Amino acid sequence: MDLTCFKWIRQPKSYHIDNNRVEIVTAPHTDLWQRTYYHFQNDNAPVLQMETDEKYFSFIVKTDFSGSHHRFDQCGIVMYLDSENWLKGSVEYENEDFQHLGSVVTNGGYSDWATTAISADIKSMWYRFSRREDDYCIECSEDGVNFSQMRICHMGKGNGKIQFGIYACSPEDSSFKAVFTDLELTECQWKAHDGQQPD
C-alpha cells in the first residue's frame, strides 16, 4: 500500500515509516474520547490516515502491541472525520490478566465503547474496516485469515468523502511502541445483506 497517500493528524514526536510498516511511540495522556460517562473530552491522539470518496472498500492492517503495559495503552484502526465524529477499533491493555478488545463510535460529540475481554497474552491483532456507503463494519482476526465481526454502525457524517487509517495512544501516564504492518486496501469484503429486504 502506498503510504505516501497517508497524512498525519497530530503527528507524534517519535515515529518511523518504512515500506509497508509504521511504528508509533505513544506519548502519555493521549486519547480519543468524547464526553460520555467520564464527562471529559480527549482529542489529542496521533492519527495517520488517507482520504477517499470510494463508497465500497475494505482496509486491512495488522497491529503489534507487545510493548503495551499500562491501563488503556492502545492501537488500531480509525476513521477520524472531525473531533466529534469518528470511530476506532483496538485492543486496550487493562492488566496482566486481561485486556479489552473493543470499538468506539462517536457521533455528534458522544462516544460509546463496546468491549469483550481477551487474554493479556495476545500481543497482535488484525483489523478489517469496511465501508458500504454511510454504513461501516469493523472486524478482527488473530491470524489475518478468519475475521469476526466487532461492530456494524452508521456514521451521520460518513456519507461523502472520508478519512481512515491507524492510530495509537496512551491515555494515562505511559508510552509504548505500536507497530502496524500488512496494510492493504481491497474490494469491499463486507457483503450486501441477503436477508430481510428493506422496508
Q: Give the CATH number for residue 38.
A: 2.60.120.200
The answer to whether residues 188 and 70 touch, using CB atoms and an 8 Å cutoff, is no
The answer to whether residues 119 and 106 touch, using CB atoms and an 8 Å cutoff, is no
User: pLDDT averaged over consecutive 10-residue blocks of the chain (199 residues)?
Assistant: 94 96 98 92 97 98 98 98 98 98 97 97 98 98 98 96 98 98 98 83
Domain count, the chain: 1
pTM, two decimal places: 0.96
| pLDDT for res 194 | 86
| Residue 87 included in any domain | yes
| Residue 142 included in any domain | yes
| Residue 198 included in any domain | no
Structural domain boundaries, residue 35: 3-186
| Residue 195 included in any domain | no
Closest CA to 9 of 50, 51, 52, 46: 46
| Residue 192 included in any domain | no
| Residue 133 included in any domain | yes
Distance CA 9, CA 57 (A): 22
| Residue 94 included in any domain | yes
| Residue 199 included in any domain | no
